[in-house]
Structure 1
Amino acid sequence: MGRADDLIKRIQDNYAKLSKSQKIIAEYIINHYDKAAFMTAAKLGATINISESTVVRFANALGYNGYPELQNALQELIKTKLTTVQRLEMTEEKDEIAVLNNVLKSDIENIKETLHEIDKEDFKKVVSKILEASKIYIVASRSSIVIAEYLAFYLNLIRGNVSVVKPGVSDVFEQILRVGENDLVIGIGFPRYSKRTVEVLKYAKTQRAKIVAITDSLISPLTSVADEVLIAKSHMASFVDSLVAPLSLVNALVVAVGLKEREKVADTFEKLESIWDEYGVYISKQG
């Protein structure tokens, strides 16, 4: 699809050739792209008193393969520009079941799109880098820390020497001070992107560390310093970013790395099972 702002250029380039009704759609999108991005074709049409089929033809007239592709371009355009308050204001659903359906359907689409678009060779390269690294630093901020902690928890069980670089008692640069050329730094970031995450990756790059970015788009600022990039879609259904596809991708990484170290992992979990049983970490089957 190219850059997100390609949508505005397409509208500008094709405006003169659009029908009267299509020009109304174009003007509404330009003036209210924040609202249009989360409307179905039917909802957008009803808002401006134009048929759903005309909205679909408008998407085709701009060169998109249907309205969903146009909607994705709209969401790419806005997701780094809107505040959380603006995102909340765009959410019109008030019925709980409608919210449930919309959010789960959106998450399913994010996973499907991620599976379709991810570069399988890049995925294999990242697995190899994880296995080869002397130490792994995982850099994240805000909601992305959840993904970083999950990845670090399992990688530490599989291979050890993994740490999460995040805001805390010590500054993030102090936490990654000794990073070197034999280390791997995994940056995780989704809109709205954290400036600090990008800065830490840039520092690690100057220290000749290998850099992997897990993010939502090739135009993400994290990609500018990365040696390898894994894309996980996070189109938002509302004011809450969807982290379902990113977490699924990280889960796949953990499984792939674990299977490469099958014997070591089996030994680790055998020891852990003994410890868990001895100290009653989990509720027993009898209890």
Structure 2
Amino acid sequence: MQDLLRSVSSSYREFSAGQKKIGDLFFKEPIFLAFSSALEVGRRVRVSESTVIRWTQKLGYKGYAEFQQVLQRKLAEERLEKAEQKISEPVADQSFLENLLDADILSIAKLKKTISEEKLLQVVDKISQADQIYVTGNFFDYGIAHWFANWLNLVLGHTETMYPSTGEYYTQLSKIERGDLVVAFVFPRYTRAALDTLKSVKAQGAEVIVLTDSEESPALVYADYELTVSVNSNLNIDSYTSVHALLTSIMRFVYVKQHAQVNENLAKVEAVYKDRNLFI
């Protein structure tokens, strides 16, 4: 993050008056730029969207999306480095709860060291390009699969949750074809039903993304693309904190890559919320 701060600082004198406003916002609230569109940033400091884009180009980036991806990564690295400095082994004078939470933070730090950004970007590309997306889960993973599928359907559409215990599952299975994408969560304990599903969809020509816990997972034999993330377990209770962190990263990359489509779909949903007076 420090190198990015230095880059903006060294270029500050060359900025136009409008670009200096963006620079000031960057120094004050970098996280706002990391997760807001160029249009939203421009509105915040009362400059045009094109001024924001030219500002990132002046810093050496092709455009706002590239700058935003770098900024998101830098912020994540900075936060995890601080966490790693504080956490190693359970601390004697901490409470039981604090040690449990530290274990979850450490699992995210481990994810940071092991995840391949290249593989993550491949997954994001496939999600963005798929004709139809089906999200399925192993026996204990259905909740997180359902949550992720709902978000994808909200922002992109054409996404369904697929679970073997329902009658709808067989209808969905019959419709899967080449050009479709299946995203599968397969964490221990592995089930035959999950593996049978992956075997079937591969035979029907769909591509498969597998999120699992290790290179030893039996689901990887069916994977075209895979992301591995360890699941922290304490007192025989699995914590999916690091899995949520990985999914949140995927969601943010999808947001940046498909920004116009995501914002259009979110605006439609918000209009329905407003029409129904849904929220207090």
Q: TM-score, normalised on structure 2?
A: 0.63
User: SS at 2:209's partner residue?
Assistant: strand
Amino acid aligned to 1:280: N
**Distance in 2, Cα, partners of 1:125 & 1:250:** 14
Amino acid aligned to 2:162: V
Identity among equivalent positions (%) equals: 28
Q: Alpha carbon RMSD of aligned pairs, Å? A: 1.9
Q: Which runs of 4+ in 1 moved over 6 A?
A: none
User: Deviations along 1:172-213, whole A, 9 cap, x unmatched?
Assistant: 444322111100111101111122111101111111211110
Aligned length: 188
In structure 2, the gaps of 5 or more residues are 1-93
Could you tell me which residue of structure 2 aligns to residue 65 of structure 1?
none
RCO greater where, 1 or 2, for CA within 8 Å and sep 6 or more?
1
Write out aligned runs for 1:15-94 (5 A).
Answer: none
Amino acid aligned to 2:98: N
Q: TM-score, normalised on structure 1?
A: 0.62
**Distance in 1, Cα, partners of 2:219 & 2:273:** 39
Match of 2:246 among 231, 234, 249: 249
Write out aligned runs for 1:42-191 (5 A).
Answer: 97-98=95-96, 100-170=97-167, 172-191=169-188
Amino acid aligned to 1:198: L
Could you tell me which residue of structure 1 aligns to residue 237 of structure 2?
240
1:222 aligns with 2:219: yes
Q: State the structure with more CA Rg.
A: 1
Could you tell me which residue of structure 2 aligns to residue 277 of structure 1?
274
- Sort the Cα spacing of 1:278 and 1:174 in 2 relative to 1 into closer, same or farther, 3 A: closer
In structure 1, the gaps of 5 or more residues are 1-95
> Is 2:232–2:240's contact at 8 Å kept on the other side of the alignment?
no
User: Deviations along 1:80-114, whole A, 9 cap, x unmatched?
Assistant: xxxxxxxxxxxxxxxx941x123212211111111
Q: Compute the displacement of 1:171 (Å).
A: 6.5
User: SS at 1:208's partner residue?
Assistant: coil
User: Deviations along 1:212-271, whole A, 9 cap, x unmatched?
Assistant: 100110111111110111011103122111111111111111111121111122222222
Amino acid aligned to 2:228: I
1:261 aligns with 2:241: no
**Distance in 1, Cα, partners of 2:190 & 2:273:** 39
Amino acid aligned to 2:245: S
Amino acid aligned to 2:200: Y
